[in-house]
């Protein structure tokens, strides 16, 4: 992989010879290069430029060194970064200078596909989830930064197609399961939620014992073929509200206020609908439990709707987060800190000259990444807003990759992929973004364009990798105001 370093970055990471286990490992150095084509945008709620200086931020790159398709990322209070993708849980405790594989081969059972990871921001429990076949999942967890693990299977029942597995945790509420918890001394400190889809729809369960068992729950929405059996990440708020985002034409969230005992649906952003196939929109919540839902709209931009009453009502006029010049986008992920302070990442293309030219099927291209021409290029973008609750919020967007993350189309529907020197489903369905306890932003992504693909004359056939990689905020404003400006992490 070509070393990726953002043009402002001045961070020098010290090469460490010891991994988190204390075993001697030799990690490749992090290569610093200046960008020759820096892209920075400051935009309004319509994606249009405003006359304002961008936030002074730098981002540090780290190569995880393993396949990273559909990555999850989380950070414990000790500063260890956990990157979960495919069949491995990877960990770095030195700011990304080195990575170790951490999962227990017995407690974290042999795996197949659809991995997911989560770090509980309250208890520091690290979860690794894997799908075993199509009917069972295996959930393992660690309470000591991955040194030791426990694990149990979770049977999805007799209906096949346990798929699209997700896990998260959040506070107990004073109603529903939380009310039971007030008189049950052995409840885990947080509620742990586990969702997956079957042919019948989305199923979500709540664990009382920290993820060891999931005895309570069931179907929360109907058939995948009619109203959204596929879903994005589970999100929770400080007040205990839980959000799940289904795959539907109109941006929608499914909400629970009683720890998953009951659910209701809300729609938003009806000015920019979200046609299928769309996957993995996401909700983030700030420290005051305001919610921010992001998705890719019908015009292929990244949009947001806000709720200031814990998901009861949402704005119906959505806000454009991505700059107008980014005409194609996929995999929006978000997290928030204090009120109005949010970060969003996505893959995007600025190939405006290709609009209405022939797409991968020979039709005029409208910006849909699923049909992008073979010479389209996609990069990783990170957007910050420190006033996202204002009537006129400002968004600061940095294109952090110098060479593309993908050349050509990105398959968004597993039943309709293309074989162009290998399947264009090499990135699978999502990336991830989370903040640590101090409000520093971390982004996990799969890089589909490595090695020879980074050269000037590379083609879509060269872009079939899925290398795991991370960008994190090296310097710039924390999303939690009390921590002020972040400074580079030193190993």
Instruction: Check residue 28 and give its pLDDT.
Output: 41
pLDDT higher than threshold 60 for residue 349: yes
Strand partners, 113: 131
Instruction: Check residue 72 and give its pLDDT.
Output: 97
The residue ranking higher by pLDDT, 169 or 178, is 169
Q: How many angstroms separate the most distant Cα atoms in the chain?
A: 66
Instruction: Check residue 227 and give its pLDDT.
Output: 46
Instruction: Check residue 386 and give its pLDDT.
Output: 98
Domain 39-486 superfamily per CATH: TolB, C-terminal domain (2.120.10.30)
Supply 448's token pair: 């589909």
pLDDT higher than threshold 90 for residue 206: yes
Question: Strands, DSSP E only, in 68-200?
Answer: 72-75, 81-85, 88-92, 100-101, 113-119, 126-132, 136-142, 150-155, 163-170, 191-198
Dihedrals phi, psi of 91, to nearest 5 degrees: -140, 140
Gap between the Cα atoms of 433 and 32, Å rounded: 23
Task: Count how many Cα atoms sit within 13 Å of the Cα of residue 30 in the half-sphere of its side chain.
Answer: 28
Query: What percentage of the chain has pLDDT greater than the value 90?
Result: 67
Dihedrals phi, psi of 451, to nearest 5 degrees: 60, -130
pLDDT higher than threshold 90 for residue 138: no
Mean pLDDT, the chain, whole residue set: 86
pLDDT higher than threshold 70 for residue 33: no
> What is the model's pTM?
0.90
> What number is the average pLDDT over the span 42-65?
97
Gap between the Cα atoms of 105 and 87, Å rounded: 11
The residue ranking higher by pLDDT, 178 or 290, is 290
Q: Which residues of 358-376 are buried (b: 16+ CB within 10 A; e: fewer)?
A: ebbeeeebebbbbbbbbeb
pLDDT higher than threshold 60 for residue 222: yes
Instruction: Check residue 15 and give its pLDDT.
Output: 29
> What number is the average pLDDT over the span 460-489?
97
The residue ranking higher by pLDDT, 277 or 354, is 354
Supply 173's token pair: 């509420």
Which residues, in sequence order, are CB contacts of 437 under 8 Å at separation 6+?
75, 77, 121
């Amino acid at each position: 992989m070509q070393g990726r370093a953002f043009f402002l970055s001045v961070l020098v990471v010290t090469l460490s010879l010891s991994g988190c286990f204390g075993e001697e490992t030799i990690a490749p150095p992090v290569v610093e290069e200046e960008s020759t084509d820096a892209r920075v945008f400051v935009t309004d709620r319509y994606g249009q430029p405003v006359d304002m200086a961008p936030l002074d931020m730098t981002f540090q790159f780290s190569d995880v060194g393993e396949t990273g398709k559909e990555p999850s990322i989380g950070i414990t209070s000790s500063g260890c970064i956990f990157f979960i993708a495919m069949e491995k849980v990877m960990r770095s405790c030195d700011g990304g200078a080195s990575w170790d594989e951490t999962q227990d081969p017995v407690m974290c059972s042999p795996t197949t596909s659809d991995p997911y990871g989560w770090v509980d921001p309250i208890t520091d429990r690290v979860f690794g989830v894997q799908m075993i076949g199509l009917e069972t999942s295996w959930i393992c967890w660690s309470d000591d930064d991955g040194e030791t693990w426990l694990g149990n299977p979770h049977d999805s029942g007799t209906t096949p197609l346990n798929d699209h597995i997700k896990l998260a945790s959040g506070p107990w509420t004073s109603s529903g399961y939380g009310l039971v918890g007030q008189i049950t001394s052995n409840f885990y400190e947080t509620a742990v939620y586990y969702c997956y889809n079957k042919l019948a729809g989305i199923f979500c369960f709540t664990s009382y014992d920290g993820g060891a068992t999931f005895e309570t729950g069931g179907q929360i929405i109907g058939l995948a073929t009619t109203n959204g059996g596929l879903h994005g990440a589970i999100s929770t708020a400080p007040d205990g509200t839980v959000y799940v985002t289904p795959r539907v034409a109109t941006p929608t969230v499914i909400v629970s206020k009683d720890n998953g005992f009951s659910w209701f649906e809300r729609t938003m952003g009806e000015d920019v609908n979200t046609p299928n196939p769309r996957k993995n929109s996401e909700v983030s919540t700030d420290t005051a439990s305001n919610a921010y839902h992001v998705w890719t709209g019908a015009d292929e931009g990244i949009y947001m709707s806000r709720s200031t009453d814990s998901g009861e009502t949402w704005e119906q006029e959505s806000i454009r987060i991505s700059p107008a010049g980014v005409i194609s986008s996929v995999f929006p992920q978000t997290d928030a800190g204090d009120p109005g302070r949010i970060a969003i990442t996505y893959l995007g293309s600025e190939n405006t000259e290709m609009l209405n030219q022939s797409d991968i099927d020979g039709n005029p291209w409208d910006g849909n990444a699923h049909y992008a021409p073979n010479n389209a290029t996609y990069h990783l973008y990170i957007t910050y807003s420190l006033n996202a609750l204002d009537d006129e919020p400002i968004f600061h967007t940095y294109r952090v990759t110098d060479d593309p993350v993908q050349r050509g189309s990105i398959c968004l529907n597993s039943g309709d992929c293309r074989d162009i020197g290998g399947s264009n489903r090499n990135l699978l369905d999502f990336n991830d973004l989370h903040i640590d306890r101090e409000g520093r932003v971390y982004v996990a992504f799969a890089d589909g364009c490595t090695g020879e693909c980074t050269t000037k004359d590379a083609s879509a056939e060269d872009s079939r990798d899925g290398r795991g990689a991370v960008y994190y905020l090296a310097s710039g404003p924390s999303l939690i105001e009390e921590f002020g400006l972040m400074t580079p992490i030193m190993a």
